[in-house]
């Protein structure tokens, strides 16, 4: 079994494409049109897990809300400082500015990762992890 994609509905497809393509660096891999919506599949490649942005033609004026069970999507960056600079230049604010997270393995050994949280144009939380 392979995990293929996760779908989110978006209010403004142009703002969402700008966020996912220009800020996060995803590629538009496929676009399909149905009678009531357009489906945009973004990812690194056809063989990797993707995000499907669904733009319904009859979108509620206030957009969509997430249920209480959804948390966030996570993306890796090679350079948190460069990512933060680009995000701020593009006008995005951080939900949580970058901070160090201590991770412990089963033997108690510590390692640290730098993480941050930002929201996409529809309010979905995106975790950025420096690899």
pTM of structure: 0.89
**Alpha carbons 131 and 129: distance in angstroms, whole number:** 6
- Residues whose CB is less than 8 angstroms from the CB of residue 22 and which lie 6 or more positions away in sequence, other chains included: 90
The candidate with the shortest Cα–Cα distance to 128, out of 99, 104, 105, is: 99
In sequence order, what are the beta bridge partners of 115? 99, 129
List, for residues 88-98, the tens digit of each pLDDT value: 999 999 999 99
Tokens 């069970």, residue located: 69
Q: Which helix (H) or strand (E) segment is 82 a member of?
A: helix 80-89
Kindly give the parts of the chain with pLDDT less than 70. none
Is there a catalytic annotation at residue 44?
Answer: no
State the catalytic residue, choosing from 22, 46, 127, 130. Answer: 127
Identify the pLDDT of residue 80: 97
């Amino acid at each position: 079994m392979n995990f293929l994609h996760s779908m989110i509905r978006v209010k403004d497809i142009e703002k969402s494409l700008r966020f996912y393509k220009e800020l996060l660096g995803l590629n538009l891999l496929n676009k399909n049109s149905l009678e009531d919506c357009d489906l945009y599949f973004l990812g690194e490649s056809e063989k990797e897990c993707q995000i499907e942005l669904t733009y319904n033609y009859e979108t509620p004026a206030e957009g969509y809300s997430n249920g209480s069970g959804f948390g966030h999507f996570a993306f890796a960056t090679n350079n948190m400082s460069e990512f933060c600079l680009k995000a701020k230049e593009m006008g995005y604010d951080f939900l949580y500015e970058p901070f160090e997270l201590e991770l412990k393995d089963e033997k108690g050994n510590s390692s640290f990762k730098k993480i941050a949280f930002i929201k996409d144009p529809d309010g979905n939380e995106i975790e950025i992890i420096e690899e």
